[in-house]
């Protein structure tokens, strides 16, 4: 798949849409996702021990590793295509990021005690139910959390194994390992900081955004793009431009997620609509609402967030206060400015039209999404 190909994707990632139209790119992206999912599925059949299958791990892995949109692997593969032609081994290397993402989600759900993931019971809840069903002694809750954590650890190992065994030359992989290690440390550091990210502590917006960039934004867009480009042997100009684009779109991605975390629905986000407010998560929307609200509204919102439990009426009132503060509108402005900045980074580096169009479509998918 070369950025100068004249074909439009159908059922293979071998053909890249040179004209960059939205329908053509959508077909290409769907083809990439199918091949990524196939690669992960084939790998897990080989890698997952039979003992885990008997414990129900395969169903959980399908939910966490095979049920997403493959955003990170797509960005990594686009980074590769900025400097090299289509290569099944490179796609296989990029696919491993979905297992890294599964690791992050499994741990995140345990730490946040999230009851659902992608519209279904989360891993620790499923494992706890299985433990309870066997009548085994001990705490089912404790078992479920431990089992989910261990499965996450395995996904972390498998992610690296899939990259290492992708079929790419060692000299090619050598260019990506330092960035891969740095991304994993950055992700863990962001998760660590997020443990104290509580709206009741009234953190500053800069602090909240820094956590979001480390925990989600960079790891979703910037680092995968940089890894793919470095793996392909791209020069510093290309890698730096992709980094600037990725930093902006990654932050915009998280801002959109923050809006959906309060005003989205479970039908489109796959998690309870009240999760961010109920868990007192200090997201950008909540922090901005507190900064922009009137004194009376700020006091009322603070009172609501400090209550032991928020009922339906209280959650609705909190959403109203946040909306009336002007915070959602300010977030929309911030997202638009970040998208403009990302496009500017690509324009300055004179990216080929097909790749610039592809990255523009990915930016839209990340920032205009409803799920």
Is the pLDDT at 276 greater than 90, yes or no? no
Percent composition of the chain: helix, strand, coil (DSSP 3-state, to 5): 75, 0, 25
Q: What is the per-residue pLDDT across 163-182, written as a single tens digit (0 to 9) for each?
A: 999 999 999 999 999 999 99
To the nearest whole percent, how much of the chain has pLDDT over 90?
61
Mean pLDDT for the chain overall: 87
> Three-class SS of residue 151?
helix
Average pLDDT for residues 109-115, to the nearest whole number?
Answer: 89
Cα–Cα nearest to 104, from 68, 57, 156, 63: 156
Q: Name the region of 71 (left: φ>0; alpha: ψ -120 to 50; beta: rest).
A: alpha
Instruction: Using pLDDT thresholds of 50, 70 and 90, give the confidence band for residue 24.
Output: confident
Average pLDDT for residues 125-129, to the nearest whole number?
Answer: 95
Q: What is the per-residue pLDDT across 69-110, written as a single tens digit (0 to 9) for each?
A: 999 999 999 999 999 999 999 999 999 999 999 999 999 999
What are the contacts of 106-114 at 24+ separation with CB within 8 A? 106/64, 106/148, 106/149, 106/151, 106/152, 106/155, 107/149, 107/152, 107/191, 108/191, 109/148, 110/145, 110/148, 110/149, 110/152, 111/191, 111/195, 112/279, 114/271, 114/275
Predicted local confidence at residue 12, as pLDDT:
45
**pLDDT: is 223 or 278 the higher one?**
223
Determine the Cα–Cα distance for residues 53 and 58; give it in Å rounded to an integer. 5
């Amino acid at each position: 798949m070369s950025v100068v190909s004249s074909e439009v994707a159908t059922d293979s990632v071998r053909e890249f849409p040179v004209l960059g139209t939205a329908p053509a790119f959508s077909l290409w992206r769907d083809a990439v996702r199918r091949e990524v999912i196939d690669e992960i599925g084939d790998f897990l059949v080989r890698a997952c021990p039979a003992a885990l299958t008997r414990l129900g791990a395969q169903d959980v892995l399908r939910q966490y590793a095979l049920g997403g949109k493959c955003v990170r692997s797509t960005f990594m593969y686009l980074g590769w295509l900025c400097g090299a032609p289509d290569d099944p081994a490179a796609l296989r290397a990029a696919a491993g990021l979905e297992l890294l993402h599964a690791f992050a989600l499994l741990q995140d759900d345990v730490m946040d005690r999230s009851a659902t993931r992608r519209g279904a019971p989360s891993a620790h809840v499923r494992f706890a139910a299985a433990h309870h069903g066997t009548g085994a002694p001990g705490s089912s809750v404790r078992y479920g959390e431990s089992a989910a954590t261990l499965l996450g650890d395995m996904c972390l190992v498998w992610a690296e194994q899939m990259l290492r065994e992708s079929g790419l030359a060692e000299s090619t992989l050598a260019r990506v390992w330092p960035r891969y290690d740095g991304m994993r440390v950055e992700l863990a550091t962001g998760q660590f900081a997020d443990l104290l990210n509580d709206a009741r502590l009234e953190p500053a917006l800069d602090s909240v955004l820094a956590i979001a960039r480390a925990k989600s934004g960079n790891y979703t867009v910037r680092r995968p793009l940089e890894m793919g480009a470095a793996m392909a042997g791209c020069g510093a100009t290309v890698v730096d431009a992709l980094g600037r684009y990725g930093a902006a779109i990654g932050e915009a991605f998280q801002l959109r997620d923050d809006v959906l975390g309060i005003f989205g629905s479970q039908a489109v986000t796959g998690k309870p609509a009240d999760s961010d407010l109920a868990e007192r998560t200090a997201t950008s929307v909540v922090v901005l609402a507190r900064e922009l609200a009137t004194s009376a509204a700020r006091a009322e919102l603070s009172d609501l967030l400090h209550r032991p439990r928020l009922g339906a009426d209280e959650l609705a009132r909190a959403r109203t206060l946040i909306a009336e503060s002007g915070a959602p509108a300010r977030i929309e402005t911030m997202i638009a400015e970040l998208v403009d900045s990302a496009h500017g980074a690509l324009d300055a580096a004179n990216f080929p039209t097909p790749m610039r169009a592809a990255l523009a479509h990915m930016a839209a998918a990340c920032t205009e999404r409803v799920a």
